[in-house]
Amino acid sequence: MMRFKGAQAHRFAESPILQLRLPGWRSRLMAVLILASFGVLIGRAFYLQVLNDAFLQEKGESRYRRDLEISASRGRIADRHGDILAVSTPMKSVWAIPAEARLQPEQSRQLAELLEIEHKELTRKLSSDKSFVFLQRQIPPDVGERIAALKLPGIGQSKEYRRFYPTGEMTAHIVGFTGVDDKGLEGVELAFQGQLLGRPGSRSVIRDRRGQIVEDVGSIRPPQDGRDIRLSLDSKIQYLAFSQLRQAVAEHKAKAGGVVVLDAKTGEILALANWPTYNPNNRDNLTGAQLRNRALTDTFEPGSTLKPFTAALALEKGKFRFDSVIDCAPGRLTIGKATISDAHPHGALTVAQIIQKSSNVGAAKLAATLPAEEMWAMFDAVGFGQAPRLGFPGEVAGRLRPWKSWRPIEQATMSYGHGISVSLMQLVRAYTVFARDGDLIPLSLTRSETPLVQGMQVFSPQTAREVRAMLEMAVQPGGTAPKAQIPGYRVAGKTGTAHKLESGQYTNKYVSSFVGFAPASDPRLIVAVMIDEPGGGRHYGGDVAGPVFASVTASALRTLGIPPDAPLQVANGGNARERL
């Protein structure tokens, strides 16, 4: 063996480099850190798997478990007799989890055919990056069963409800309709959304790797169905109002119209019809004109239907009596630079005859004796200038300007219904003060369990009875509305014919109206009719709206079994003053 000369031999294990010693604390520190790391991991594992295992459990269950919503049935809407106006029918909605919906071309084609959608549209939905998509909603249950039989991966179904309206366009404006999510969008469906809408439930299911439900784990929360609503509406009277209105609009080639029938004893709305209308079961190609509930959302100048209120205030304040005579000759009255005219010139007329013959000059002369503030307070007291507060969507307040801004000519024109705007619902409610003993009652869309209600006193009972007699005279020979008479019943009412105001100017277009009640001896029904822009050469309220009132009211009185209060052959005959 060769050795290096002059060099001292050392063994490898005795190398000076290997003999270097590290400080003892470093090795102990490393040992502590390693043990601490293991302790943290063990503690974390213990926390996740023993103390708080919800997170991992949730992640695990998400691979095979899903909570499905159980739809609740929306409450039914019925008329006062229980006849159904809106009901929910069970349907199916088909949904998909795109990440799991791996369909063969033939499966995809079959599914598209059953859903009645384009194959491209189905492919687009299944290619979505969303975790959940609806493929088609509210399909018939039998179609849903055929889809379920295909056992397609990632495709599921849920139960939903579709709203059905048995009475269709007849009650469309009052009942309204819901959207695809079963939420109210119009009418009672929207106004009573909180009561009608139920609370959905949910159930937990287990899915296999193909996305198919293989087991029901259980119900987490049962659904709570919505509450039923019973309206004040009477379907028979509603049909009468609707059919007569439709006929009148067609006969007079009018733009639109509305009818409201009110129970004078309870304030219940027994009928509300508008034309044009729509079918809530098929809402394709709807227009705004069809959707408008004109009786509540449209306003118009009421014309002469406001004259009885002016006369009532004059009587109430002691300015005139029933038979006080006012000179209305020569049928014109100039106030400032404006001139008021009567449709037919009259001479001397009593207050009652001013209403009977509908004299603008006479009404203006009555108003001239009244302070503007008192007239405004009276209009406000009967509900003009404020919404009816039925809770119905789209209710309007109309237009009643503050009395301080009235000029003399404006006060004069308001006495016969110009310069003020109201809705048909406001007008029919205001007439309760004459149909009753001077008190104004609240209106109701739902059936009232209270047979009689107390209202706010606006006029004294004596004033109300005297104006009621004037309104009886208006439908008798010599009045403006003999066509509103009903054989066998005493009728009271007032016509209205007003030029339409467009862009601040009065046009040759008219709104024809009539408001009345029967039987006049003990009023039960108040009926208001409005025909918008009648054509065919007739536009007076007595000719256009009066016959609609007579047809609707006569049939409604018989439907309710209200006995006649006048001989059949001489209905409304005799002296109305003598009946006070």
Just list the catalytic residues.
304
Residue 271 and residue 236: Cα distance in Å, rounded? 9
Q: 394 burial class (0-12, 13-18, 19+ CB within 10 angstroms)?
A: middle
Strand order in the sheet with 201-207: 65-70, 201-207, 213-221
In terms of C-beta distances under 8 Å and separation of at least 24 residues, what long-range contacts does 576-579 make, across chains too? 576/352, 576/469, 576/470, 576/472, 576/473, 576/476, 577/322, 577/323, 577/352, 577/469, 579/469, 579/472, 579/490, 579/520, 579/521
Facing residues of 102 across strands? none
Which residues touch 504 (CB under 8 Å, ≥6 apart)? none
Cβ atoms of 428 and 526 within 8 Å: the answer is yes
Strand 325-327 and strand 155-164: the pairing is unpaired
Residue 209 and residue 199: Cα distance in Å, rounded? 31
Residue 456 and residue 8: Cα distance in Å, rounded? 129
End-to-end CA distance of the chain: 154
The three-state secondary structure class of 511 is strand
Residue 513 and residue 431: Cα distance in Å, rounded? 13
| Residue bearing tokens 């998509």 | 133
The three-state secondary structure class of 502 is strand
